[in-house]
Amino acid sequence: MALYSYLFGLLLACVSYLVYQKYVNVYTSIIIKPQKRYDYIIVGAGTAGCVLASRLTEDPNTSVLLVEAGDHMGYFTKIPLTPTAAQQGPDDWSVRTKAQKYSSFGLWGQSQFIPRGKGLGGSGQINFLLHGFGLPGDYDRWAQLGFQGWTFKDLKPLASMHSKKNIFRRPTATIKDGARYSTLNAYLKPALGRKNLHVLLKTQAVSIRFINMTASSLYILQNHRELDNIFVNKEIIVAAGAIKSPQLLMLSGIGPPELLQSGVEYQTTSAVMLFSMGTASERLLRDLSNYKPQVFRDTFPFYNNTNKEGFMFLSTCVQPRSRGTITLADSTTSMPPVVDPNYLEQYYDVKCMIKGKAEELVSTKPFQDIGARIHWPRPERCLSLWRYSKEDQRGPVVRRRKFGKKQSQPKEQKPKPKPIPSPPDAYLECIIREVAVTGHHAGGTCAGGRVVDEELR
Question: Is residue 457 one of the residues assigned to a domain?
Answer: yes
CA distance 138 to 147: 12
363: closest CA among 377, 373, 375? 373
454 burial (CB, 10 Å; 0-12 / 13-18 / 19+) is middle
* Ranges of residues in the chain whose predicted pLDDT is under 50: 20, 23-24, 161-164, 166-167, 274-280, 391-408
pLDDT at residue 16 in the model: 56
Question: Is residue 346 one of the residues assigned to a domain?
Answer: yes
pLDDT at residue 313 in the model: 81
Q: Dump the DSSP string for 174-215.
A: -EETTEE--HIIIIIHHHTT-TTEEEE-SEEEEEEEEETTEE
Number of folded domains that form the chain: 1
How many Å separate Cα 352 from the centre of its chain?
20
Structural domain containing residue 275: 254-394+421-457
Question: Is residue 29 one of the residues assigned to a domain?
Answer: no
Question: Is residue 156 one of the residues assigned to a domain?
Answer: no
Question: Is residue 365 one of the residues assigned to a domain?
Answer: yes
Question: Is residue 328 one of the residues assigned to a domain?
Answer: yes
Question: Is residue 385 one of the residues assigned to a domain?
Answer: yes
pLDDT at residue 278 in the model: 44
Model pTM above 0.85: no
Question: Is residue 321 one of the residues assigned to a domain?
Answer: yes
